[in-house]
Amino acid sequence: MTTNPPKLAELQLEYEQEPSLLKGDSPGKEWLDIPVEFRDGNWCHAAKPNVIEDLGFNNPRKWSPEDEDWQLEEGWQKKVKNGMKERLDKFRSFKLFMDICVRCGACADKCHFFLGSGDPKNMPVVRQELMRSVYRHEFTWSGKIFKGLVGARPLSEEVLKEWFMYFHQCTECRRCSVYCPFGIDTAEVTLMGRELLNLAGTNINWISEPASNCNRTGNHLGIEPHTYKNVVESLAEDIEDQTGVTVNPSFNRKGAEILFITPSGDVFGDPGIYTMMGYMMLFEHIGLDYTLSTYASEGGNFGLFSSNQSMKKINAKMFHEAERLGVKWILGGECGHMWRVVHQYMDTMNGPADFLEEPVSPITGTKFRNATSTKMVHIAEFTADLIHQGKLKLDPRRNDHLKTTFHDSCNIARGMGMMEEPRYVLRNVCNNFNEMPDHTIREETFCCGSGSGLNTDEYMDVRMRGGFPRASAVKHVKEKYDVNALVAICAIDRASLPPLMNYWNPGVSVYGLHELVGNALVMEGEDERTEDLREDEMEDLDSESTSREYDE
């Protein structure tokens, strides 16, 4: 302790008078009156001028959200207002959702961004009100007469900034929509909000650039065909090194039975590549006649996150390529928003796919009746059928070093309704699988916090906040069941959950479902496996003979 203790009187004074420290800001203010504040880590880079030109959006320029002056064009308000009118006339969802919210508050605490930040503007209802307030002002008589009294306000630069911030703190995950008594879906409002932001020339680069790349080269990273092929072949070599089995992927091959499309993250990114290896091993194992395409080399569709037009433009390549190659049907890899687009938009936008056949599994003969029109099958459906029909030789003990839990991707769960298939596959390829707590899985799953094109590194702070509810559920199973493997069927998950886990729950790694399938597959002519696809040690297996056998 100090050698020169303060006098009692001094202490008394300090004790009585020491000023209190900084307090929370602006308590009690209405949310409308709290201005947005852009700080490092809470905004995404603005789209580069060349990207904007490429995509044909408004007002290409160099700017940053942190700038005081956003260099908006003359008359941007009019553009946005007209755009709003146009969209109200085109989308019943938008118009209806602007009118019928009763602000009952059921959604208030359902948003992962709200739960991770406590910011009232992240309550789904308030996020919608950001838009609704402008709608009232422009399009309803009560808003025009009573203005602020009924929660209406004019479109100002401040409002636009608020839109920019909060429509980029929504991952379009639809969790709030599950609890809404009228099914109001904030994702619809956010989608419109982002389209309007495009009209004002306020886009973010991480959404726009991949969309532009995808258009030109076929994938987000802008990888050209020879490099794409080269990379896939080197993954095939890795498979051979590890298992002794040769796999021979083909590219742009006419006459193949099936076109396989997966997000490019599976081809280029760690840990996505291990999932890609899993697909290739599976296809080799069952002798599937498939081809990859360098032209349609991207399953993901960042167009969904900026505008309907670019979504359609990017998606059009899938059918176009399938038709050119003359395949029978399309098989799609593990991805979230790709499947939102394929399941709910593709056929409407770019169908009908008359040139394809109704999908039938060439191995089991199973007809995929739920995909008779779009003619595109999800790999989890495909594999679940294979396992159910006993066509795969699997040794789940090869995943014994993993204690798994399963993260439902928002789009797969709430935009497609696929919950059981991946779980069925997972249970068959590993022995340790524990669910996260109720209300954090299936249709109530928490988003990874980086969906809808927000998985860019400058946005890490916000992403860590948004992913916190997910991480907290993982923490629970980690403590309870020693879970060390978080399995997901989404490329954005595979890219964004690793940093999330690394931050909140170090020791939990992220896996793709088909990576585990790849680990468990007992392939013909394989070398003895002691390591998984990541070259991590497997647990000692006594003998191969006890592996699960299936009758042909």
Partner 1 sequence: MKVIYPLVAVLLLALVAYLGVAIGLEYLFGVIIPYVSVILFLGGFIWKIYDWVKSPVPFRIPTTCGQAKSLEWIKRDELESPSGFWGVFGRMSLEVLFFRSLFRNTKAELVPGPSLAYSSSKWLWMAGLIFHWSLLVIVLRHYRFFLAGVPGFVEFLESVDGFLQITLPTLYITDLLLVISVTFLVLRRLASAQMRIISLSTDYFPLFLILAIALSGISMRYLDKVDVVAIKVLVQGLVSFQFDAPGGIGGMFYVHLFLVCVLISYFPFSKLMHMGGIFLSPTRNLANNSREKRHINPWNPEVQYRTYAEYEDEFREKMVKADIPTEFSLPSEKEKI
Partner 2 sequence: MSNTLNILITKNQDQILEKWLSLRLSFFSKQKQSLIMTQKDQFQNPIRHQLQEGLKDILENFEKKGEKFKEALEQICRILAIQDFPPSKAMALFYELKEIVREFTKKTGVGFNAKDWVEFNSAIETMTLEAFDCYSAHREKIYQLKVDESKNKAFMLLKKAGI
CA distance 278 to 518: 4
CB of 14 to partner 1, least distance (A): 35
- 21's contact among partner 1, partner 2, none, with CB below 5 to 8 A by partner kind, is partner 2
CA distance 183 to 114: 19
- Binding to partner 1 by CB under 8 A, coded x per residue (else -) over 166-185, reads --------x--xxxxxxxxx
- 504's contact among partner 2, partner 1, none, with CB below 5 to 8 A by partner kind, is partner 2
Amino acid at 369: R
- 343's contact among partner 1, partner 2, none, with CB below 5 to 8 A by partner kind, is partner 1
Task: Considering the complex, state which of residue 77 and residue 215 has its C-beta at the smaller distance from partner 1.
Answer: 215
CA distance 201 to 442: 37
- Using rule CB under 8 A, residue 196 touches partner 1: no
Exposure class string for 211-225: b at 16+ Cβ within 10 A, else e: bbbbbebbbbbbbeb
**Residue that is written with structure tokens 């948003």 in the block:** 111
Task: Considering the complex, state which of residue 94 and residue 459 has its C-beta at the smaller distance from partner 2.
Answer: 459
- Using rule CB under 8 A, residue 343 touches partner 1: yes
Task: Considering the complex, state which of residue 45 and residue 388 has its C-beta at the smaller distance from partner 2.
Answer: 45
- Using rule CB under 8 A, residue 6 touches partner 1: no
- 394's contact among partner 1, partner 2, none, with CB below 5 to 8 A by partner kind, is none
- Using rule CB under 8 A, residue 481 touches partner 1: no
Q: Extract the runs of DSSP E, i.e. beta strands, from 314-465.
A: 329-332, 376-378, 404-407
- 1's contact among partner 1, partner 2, none, with CB below 5 to 8 A by partner kind, is partner 2
Among 489, 490, 545, smallest CA distance to 522 is for: 545
- Binding to partner 1 by CB under 8 A, coded x per residue (else -) over 362-391, reads ----x-xxxxxxx-x----x--xx--x---
Q: Which of residues 212-271 bind partner 1 (CB under 8 A)?
A: 215-218, 224-226, 229-230, 251-254
- Using rule CB under 8 A, residue 30 touches partner 1: yes
- 452's contact among partner 1, partner 2, none, with CB below 5 to 8 A by partner kind, is none
CB of 136 to partner 2, least distance (A): 22
Q: What are the residue ranges of helices labelled H in 56-200?
A: 76-90, 92-100, 112-117, 124-139, 141-146, 157-166, 175-179, 186-199
Q: Which strands make up the sheet holding 485-488, listed edge to edge?
A: 404-407, 485-488, 509-512
Which of 78, 85, 144, 439 binds partner 1 (CB under 8 A)? It is 439
Q: Which pair of tokens denotes residue 313?
A: 């433009």
Coil, strand or helix at 483? coil
- 360's contact among partner 1, partner 2, none, with CB below 5 to 8 A by partner kind, is none
CA distance 281 to 546: 21
Segment (H or E) for 425: helix 420-429
CB of 540 to partner 1, least distance (A): 35
Task: Considering the complex, state which of residue 107 and residue 495 has its C-beta at the smaller distance from partner 1.
Answer: 107
CB of 372 to partner 1, least distance (A): 5
- Binding to partner 1 by CB under 8 A, coded x per residue (else -) over 440-479, reads --xx------------------------------------
Segment interacting with partner 1 (CB under 8 A) among 13-21, 340-348, 517-525, 526-534: 340-348
Q: Which of residues 114-143 bind partner 1 (CB under 8 A)?
A: 120, 123, 125-126, 129, 140-142
Task: Considering the complex, state which of residue 227 and residue 309 has its C-beta at the smaller distance from partner 2.
Answer: 227
CB of 547 to partner 1, least distance (A): 24
CA distance 68 to 182: 39
CA distance 340 to 414: 9
CA distance 444 to 408: 9
Q: Which pair of tokens denotes residue 333?
A: 């890899």
Task: Write out the DSSP string of 31-85.
Answer: GGGS-----TTSSPPBPPHHHHHHHT-S------TTSS---PPTTHHHHHHHHHH
CA distance 490 to 532: 20
Q: Which of residues 73-92 bind partner 1 (CB under 8 A)?
A: 88-92
- Using rule CB under 8 A, residue 50 touches partner 1: no
CB of 40 to partner 1, least distance (A): 27
CB of 231 to partner 2, least distance (A): 5
